[in-house]
């Protein structure tokens, strides 16, 4: 996404993500969107700090979703 | 010059004087200079005392056979030697030359520019503190959790009086005095860590878990094996040159940290063949098996066996939850 007004494609893409991904995963993705580089330590600490009730499996789900959707700039494991 | 015998190697004083007399010096000053250079004190009559017309003869001063020179044998062992003599001080000339150096004008004392800058010494630089990581078993609770999961029953020292009385009232003399059971961690455990691709987000948790288990049980009582998907192919790298394959050890429980091949699917499929073989192996030898899984129970595969104790590996797991599953402790026959 950019600061431009979302196009029709952007809106459909986001709606698709919301339909496919779980709410927890989507919330985590929103937090992690600020990072230019995602490492396991950042992912873990961000998740435990912002979503303390979440489960550790979200770390794996996040990595899998990113690999499938290819929406991330840089992820490092 | 004197007649020299072929064996003569020494130059005597007479030879030197005769040679000096034969030198073709030109003036008296020249003569004195040569004498002085050779280290002789000059006297005017001496060179003239040598009569050049007198027959030159060679005097054998070695009248008697000289004893061969014997080197003094020192008693000092090889490798030892007396300290060298102190160096002879050099006599400085009395004449002092005038210095060519000029005294410079006094420089005004101004602090250099870099002195007032905000400089930091290398010793003052603090090492970068690594951000703390929230482990799946928090540091506050991991001791209780791991102790509850890995404790093993053993015969205690306290005599079980009611059982002993029961034996006596029946007229039986027990071969072994009945005692209360106690739990212990001295058996240690085998720790199997799954470093497969699906566990990549938890690799640092595996390392932290190994440290936590070693802290609780003691380093020498924990054997750590690493494997990739197949736990029976685990290898221990205590010796970095030769890996030690995993073998069943029926004297200690087995703790496994793995996702059992879960890849995010919610469908409960049967556990893989390698895991089935591993579970059956531990079950047949009655080895306690505890599996830590970082996924919720909704994702766990179907195992069709009650032998392994499955534990959700997350910060919300408590020691009480483990105690309910394990009971009073694992029973190990041997």
- Domain assignment present for A13: no
Integer Cα distance of B25 and B31 in angstroms? 6
More confident residue, B125 or B158: B158
The C-alpha R_g of chain B, in whole angstroms, comes to 50
Most distant CA atoms of chain B, gap in Å: 146
Q: Is the dihedral of CA B199, B204, B210, B216 positive or negative?
A: negative
Integer Cα distance of B329 and B166 in angstroms? 25
Angle between helices A40-50 and A23-32 (to 10 degrees): 120
Chain mean pLDDT for chain B: 81
CA distance B175 to chain A (A): 52
Q: What does B231-285 look like in DSSP terms, one character per residue?
A: GGG-EE-SSTTS-EE----TTS-EEEE--TT--S--S-PBPPHHHHHHHHHHHHT
The 10s digit of each residue's pLDDT in B101-123 is 888 888 778 888 888 787 777 77
Sorting pLDDT into bands at 50, 70 and 90, what band is B70?
low
- A49 is in which domain, residue-wise? 21-69
Task: Using DSSP, state whether B286 is helix, strand or coil.
Answer: coil
CA distance B264 to chain A (A): 6
* Cβ–Cβ gap B259/A41 under 8 Å: no
Residue B46 has pLDDT above 70, yes or no: no
Angle between helices A57-69 and A40-50 (to 10 degrees): 120
- Domain assignment present for A11: no
* Cβ–Cβ gap B259/A61 under 8 Å: no
* Cβ–Cβ gap A56/B136 under 8 Å: yes
Q: Please work out, in degrees rounded to the nearest 5, the angle formed at the alpha carbon of residue B319 by the alpha carbons of B313 and B321.
A: 75
More confident residue, A17 or B296: B296
What is the CB neighbour count within 10 angstroms for residue B24? 5
Residue B255 has pLDDT above 60, yes or no: yes
Taking residues B287-296, report their average pLDDT.
91
Tokens of B296: 């919720």
Could you tell me the strand order of the sheet in which B189-194 lies?
B244-245, B235-236, B222-227, B189-194, B254-257, B289-293, B309-312
* Cβ–Cβ gap B134/A45 under 8 Å: yes
* Cβ–Cβ gap A57/B295 under 8 Å: yes
Q: How many residues does chain B have?
A: 334
Integer Cα distance of B162 and B169 in angstroms? 11
B198 close contact with A: CB closer than 8 A = yes
Taking residues B154-181, report their average pLDDT.
87
Distance between first and last Cα of chain A = 24
- What pLDDT shows up at residue B328? 82
Give pTM, 2 decimals: 0.63
Integer Cα distance of A24 and B136 in angstroms? 18
Taking residues B64-90, report their average pLDDT.
68
**Residues of chain A contacting B131 with CB distance shorter than 8 Å:** 41, 45
Residue B190 has pLDDT above 90, yes or no: yes
The answer to whether B181 and B155 are in contact (CB under 8 A) is yes
Taking residues B124-131, report their average pLDDT.
76
- What pLDDT shows up at residue B1? 45
* Cβ–Cβ gap B294/A63 under 8 Å: no
Residue B200: closest CA among chain A residues belongs to which residue? Answer: A77
**Residues of chain B contacting A55 with CB distance shorter than 8 Å:** 295-296, 314
Taking residues B304-310, report their average pLDDT.
85
The H or E element that residue B291 is part of is strand B289-293
More confident residue, A53 or B48: A53
Residue B199: closest CA among chain A residues belongs to which residue? Answer: A60
- Torsion angle in degrees (nearest 10) through CA of B196, B202, B204, B208: -110
What is the CB neighbour count within 10 angstroms for residue B174? 11
Residue B267 has pLDDT above 60, yes or no: yes
- What pLDDT shows up at residue B59? 56
Taking residues B264-286, report their average pLDDT.
82
Report the percentage of chain B scoring pLDDT > 70: 83
- What pLDDT shows up at residue B2? 47
Report the percentage of chain B scoring pLDDT > 90: 23
DSSP assigned state of B178: -
Residue B39 has pLDDT above 70, yes or no: yes
Domain count of the fold of chain A: 1
Phi/psi at B252 (5° precision): -150, 150
More confident residue, B186 or B65: B186
The 10s digit of each residue's pLDDT in A6-47 is 888 888 888 887 888 888 888 888 888 888 888 888 889 999
Whether ipTM exceeds 0.85: no
Taking residues B325-332, report their average pLDDT.
85
Name residue B194's beta-bridge partners: B227
- Strand B309-312 to strand B254-257: parallel, antiparallel, or no bridges (unpaired)? unpaired
* Cβ–Cβ gap A56/B202 under 8 Å: yes
Integer Cα distance of B326 and B171 in angstroms? 36
Sorting pLDDT into bands at 50, 70 and 90, what band is B79?
low
Sorting pLDDT into bands at 50, 70 and 90, what band is B142?
very high
Sorting pLDDT into bands at 50, 70 and 90, what band is B214?
very high
Task: Using DSSP, state whether B276 is helix, strand or coil.
Answer: helix
Sorting pLDDT into bands at 50, 70 and 90, what band is B145?
very high
- Domain assignment present for A47: yes
- What pLDDT shows up at residue B115? 80
């Amino acid at each position: 996404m950019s600061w431009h007004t979302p196009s029709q494609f952007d809106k459909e893409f986001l709606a698709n993500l919301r339909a496919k991904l779980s709410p927890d995963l989507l919330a985590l993705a929103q937090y992690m969107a600020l990072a230019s580089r995602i490492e396991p330590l950042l992912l873990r600490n961000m998740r435990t700090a912002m979503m303390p009730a979440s489960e550790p499996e979200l770390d794996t789900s996040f990595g899998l979703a990113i690999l499938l959707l290819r929406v991330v700039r840089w992820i490092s494991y | 010059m004197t007649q020299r015998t072929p064996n003569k190697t020494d130059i005597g004083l007479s030879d030197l004087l005769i040679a000096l007399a034969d030198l073709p010096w030109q003036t008296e000053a020249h003569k004195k200079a040569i004498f002085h250079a050779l280290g002789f004190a000059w006297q005017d009559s001496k060179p003239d005392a040598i009569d050049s017309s007198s027959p030159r003869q060679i005097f054998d001063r070695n009248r008697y056979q000289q004893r061969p020179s014997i080197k003094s044998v020192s008693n000092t062992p090889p490798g030892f030697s007396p300290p060298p003599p102190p160096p002879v001080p050099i006599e400085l000339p009395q004449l002092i030359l005038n210095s060519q150096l000029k005294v410079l004008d006094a420089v005004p004392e101004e602090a250099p520019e870099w002195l007032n800058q905000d400089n930091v010494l290398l010793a003052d630089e603090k090492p970068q503190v690594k951000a703390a990581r929230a482990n799946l078993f928090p540091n506050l609770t991991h001791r209780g959790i791991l102790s509850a999961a890995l404790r093993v029953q053993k015969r205690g020292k306290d005599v079980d009086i009611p059982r002993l009385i029961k034996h006596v009232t029946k007229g039986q003399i027990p071969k072994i005095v009945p005692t209360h059971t106690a739990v212990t961690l001295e058996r240690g455990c085998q720790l199997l860590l799954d470093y497969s691709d699906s566990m990549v987000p938890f690799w640092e948790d595996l390392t932290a878990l190994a440290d936590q288990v070693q802290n609780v049980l003691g380093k020498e009582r924990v054997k750590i094996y690493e494997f990739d998907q197949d736990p029976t192919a685990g290898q221990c790298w205590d010796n970095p040159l030769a890996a030690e394959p995993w073998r069943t050890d029926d004297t200690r429980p087995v703790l496994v940290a793995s996702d059992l091949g879960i890849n995010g699917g919610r469908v409960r499929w049967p556990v893989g063949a390698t895991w089935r073989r591993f579970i059956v192996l531990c079950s047949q030898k009655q080895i306690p098996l505890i599996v830590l899984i970082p996924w919720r129970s909704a994702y766990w595969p179907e195992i069709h066996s009650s032998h392994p104790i499955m534990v959700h590996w997350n910060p919300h797991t408590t020691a009480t939850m483990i105690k309910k599953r394990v009971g009073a402790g694992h029973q190990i026959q041997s």
